[in-house]
Each structure stands twice: as structure tokens, then as C-alpha cells.
Structure 1
Amino acid sequence: MASSAIIVRAWTRKEDEALCRAYKWVSEDSVRGISQTSEGVWSRASKKYLEFYECTIPRNTRNHESCSSRWKKHLHPILNKWHQALLATVSRHESGTNYYDEVRQAEELYMEGSSKPFQFHGCW
């Protein structure tokens, strides 16, 4: 009896970055704007994701359900947490700090209470 199990492979950093770029591209579409349905957003985002990630071997076959799930369950919460850490750091207005100091402080704040490694530099 043959098994019809689906092989699930882990997302790579390169895939995460391509998905972030694709979501950003779709969400900033000035023509369609906020009048897009959730299904339409993820259909377009997954197509753009494949464009950004087309040169991979083996050929990437992530569909819109996979892209949507990865964004909603993993990337979006991490990016929101990073954004909040960066806002908290910048709002301190510490004298003598520059951009790099603020990013370092935000990374420290992000890592407080987090068991997941900081892993999305360049994603947004």
C-alpha cells in the first residue's frame, strides 16, 4: 500500500525574505489598495513570491495557502514584535545614540523573553 503523505520542508531564510518582499509589494499596490480580498491578496502574493524566488533549485512550489500560513503564523508576529521593540527604543530619545545603537538596543529588547533567535534582518 503506497503512502500519499505530503512532504513538508522547512522554510529557508531566503524564502522568508522573498515572502516578505512579495507581501510588501502586494500590500503597497496603489491601484488595488485596500479593496483586495484575503484570497486575492494571497493569490497575488504567492505569484510574486515565486517570481522573487524563481531561480531556486529544486523549483519552489509553495502555494498561496502555504504563503498565507507562513505569514500569519510566523513572520507577521515576529515582525510586529520587532517593530514594537524598535519603536520603544527610538522613543527613548537617548542623547548621543545613532541608528546603529538604536537597532542594537532594539535587538536586545526583542530578545528579552524570546526563545526564538532573531532572524529576519533585511526582511522588510
Structure 2
Amino acid sequence: GETQQYEEDRRLFYVAMTRARQQLVLFDCVAERSAFVEEVLAALPGHRKRPDVEPAGRRPVPPAARAPLPPVDVESITTVGAHVRHAVFGPGTVESVSGHRVTVHFTAGSRTLDAQVVAERHLMWKE
């Protein structure tokens, strides 16, 4: 039963990947590794599998010590008419702004997002 569930989860993962129309974004989280993501990444040229355990004498670099991404200016993604890009939805145009909520028209339709959250998580930026 457990093997069948794993295979079904794997099948659904690949079905979801084939539904991507223009861009596919896979997130790889060190704390919660996905066997499915690792399998896809391993098939890419030049990919090196990360060791499950750090080599002796080396300490893992904590996430806070890694170089941070440059901040996303919230004002730049909350200007009506601004051309933006979302990590999942792709390119879009800001249609309206109401407080911290921004409505963006993407190819797949309009989405209302929390501008502060997408900026903090680097999910959307001005193009």
C-alpha cells in the first residue's frame, strides 16, 4: 500500500510538471528534501547531488549566513500599469491596488496578491 501511494504521488508530481505552460519553477528545500525534485534535478546536465551528510570537519552554512537576495521594492510592484514577473504566474501587468493587495493580470487570468508577502519572499518583482 505504501509503495502504491508513493508511485501515485510521483505520477501526480509529473502530471503537474507537464501542466506548466511557459515556465516551471521547482523549489528545493534543504530542510524538507523532495525525492521527486531531486530525481528531476539529477537528470539535468551538470547537476551535482548534494550529500545527505556534510563531509567531516565542515559545518553546514545556516540559511541566515547565505548572501541575501536584493530587496524587492513594494512600490515598484504596486503601481498600476507596472510590468511585473511572478515566480509562478510569469509576466503580468498591475491592474489595481487596494491597500496591501495588488491585482495583477497574468496570461492565465487575474490574481489578487499580498504585495508585502510576494516582495518579502521574492515571488514577484518589477520587470
Report the TM-score when normalising by structure 1: 0.21
- Larger RCO (CA within 8 A; separation ≥ 6): 1
Which structure would you say has the larger Rg?
A: 2
If each structure's strand is expressed as a fraction of its own residues, which one has the higher value? Answer: 2
Report the TM-score when normalising by structure 2: 0.21
